[in-house]
Structure 1
Amino acid sequence: MTILVTGAAGFIGYHLSQRLMEDGQQVIGIDNFNDYYDIQLKRDRMGRLHRHPLFTGMEADIARFDELDALFRDYKVKTVIHLAAQAGVRYSITNPFAYLESNLVGFGNVLEACRRHEIKHLLYASSSSVYGANVNMPFSVHDSVDHPVSLYAATKKANELMAHTYSHLYGLPTTGLRFFTVYGPWGRPDMAYFTFTRDIDNGVPIKVFNEGRMQRDFTYIDDIVEGIVRLHARPPQPDPHWNREQPDPGSSYAPYRVYNIGNNKPVALMTFIRTIEQMLGKEAKLEFMPMQPGDVEATFADIDELTRDVGFKPTTTIQEGIGQFVDWYRSYYTVRSSAEQLQL
């Protein structure tokens, strides 16, 4: 089977591609290498993927349909795991057009390419941010998600609606993946755990929003990947019990599903910071700040459907996950710093 992974040079895309190839799958990986964060980190991820004989990688932009259509045709893609998107809640407030182009136009192109080439299963990245103003914990796929609080969240909700339309009209099996605060080695430098680690290590004060009164369902990258792999092997089927008079947002009469993939154990932000301090062996300098626009105070994933349908529940503890990240962080940037010094 040939699997297309969009956003393969991204954090989740890199780890997922590695796992798929370990399982013997042929992977076509694309990325547009935009400069939202450190391009060298993206190129280093992609470079490691290119070492594997089952990987074919290239630079391509999902916002250009002709490129995408030709790729589907030339490589005879069978299934798609769509992870390419403009990420970041706060960035969407100051750079809205990046989200409209990538998350709406780009996703529409992916759907249309899947339809034209009769793709067997499309999995796509949604986000826990779709729960927006909802405060009913834990967040369930059966909850309404009609009140987003950021443009980023709104585009992810729109992706779920667009996917359902293609499942309804064309019978395209689609699975939406609502990720909850993913962290781990090779992670995104714009994420709080990454900036906290960097600044604590360098003795720089860290900004702690909402005066530290935040909780997140931090989910380790290996658990995210395991969930994706298991769902990839299980294309959704129409739900014969779906009731049009009492419609369930989490399923459909069409071959469409959405799943939460989260740790199911929210952690207080201050506990998370103390764990980073412990792993670094350094104390943080804290600068408490008010809540930022677009943020929510807490996230907490109900993963009953994930456990029921594919028999999986994340198990990685914060101590294990942060320990792995800190080890990678220090190793990666030590090697990179040495390489940059040699080039001077």
Structure 2
Amino acid sequence: MAGWSLVRVALLSDCYLPRLGGIEVQVHGLAHRLVEAGHEVEVVTATAGETRMRTVETDDGVTVHRLPLPVPGAPPVNPFVTGVVRELLRSGRFDVAHAHMGVVSPFATDLVDLALAGNLPTAVTWHCVIDRSAPLFRVLGHARRWNARGAALSAVSSMAATRVAGIAGGAEVQVLGNGIDVAAWRPRSEVVRVDDDVVRVVSAMRFVRRKRPGALVDVLLAARERLDRSHPHRRLEAHLVGDGPQRRVVGATLRRHGVDWVDLPGRLTREQLRDLHGRGDVYLTTARLEAFGIAALEARTAGLAVLARTGTGVEDFVTDGRDGLLRDSDPSLAAALADLAADRERLEAIRAHNLATAPAQSWDRVVEATTAEYARARRLAGVPS
């Protein structure tokens, strides 16, 4: 970027590692990739570390200010540290503040107001889908006021950006996608795929209602029934990775139907999941409120054909018929899975494309897009580049 190639940035987020989730992992990854690119990064979060005390840590060049509520089991919020953060933002000599928003982000919401009040160029990225909460957000008016005060608004996918624009009075909302380490998700040469009549389906998720694990099982069962009628020699095998309150319900459903070809291995490490992808053929998700779909992107990077619902963030990195198949209903998704399982030549063509073509969301491209968004925040704030 002309005039200021290096950035000193404050990343503002309710959630951060060691909590596990999409925002936590992405903010951590962005912080470290920015540092690797030569920028200076400090994270301000309400997530506790090893203790429930306020701490300042250094993690491979990233300074992390932890400001949790000092009570057992406290959520990552703290309305009592505005004075501390105001002074931190004032004295930190930051070029830009970058807030990361979920559906409920009271800590980051307060910090955006502090940054703008201190005339600090500010970028705000939504990692969620604004859905039933849209009327409430329009009444609260945070996004609309931030836009009027010169904040640069963005979201992690085109679909999510459209929703944010709807609560921000039609503001310009850029797409600032999540990043992925392409090399880390490519299959290892040691992993051997079995050449047989089994099509191996993988899905990775938090087993919560919003991710619709029950609907995913219904799609698998419907696809298997269709495949048994049309191509009885071809079989499905599925591995549903992850944990959460709905995992027990899914397990009970599978036992009730006598299904022995769907495995629930629980949580896996990144390396274990990568190796499972390396032996797999198809990644399946039935989520409808998917702002981005990082698990689907990981699978697509590993070479799996991705099957997902239309109208989700997955559409930003999966083109129907090229990287996978996109359908507008669960029955259509089941039919697509059965048809793809029956057509080994088409399935292998999609897999070959995904293995040969890296996704556009590699971290180097995401860092470039992020620093461009910081330049936009500075322009909107009237700060010369």
TM-score, normalized by length of structure 2? Answer: 0.38
| Structure with larger Rg | 2
Which one scores higher on RCO, CA 8 angstroms, separation ≥ 6?
1
TM-score, normalized by length of structure 1? Answer: 0.42
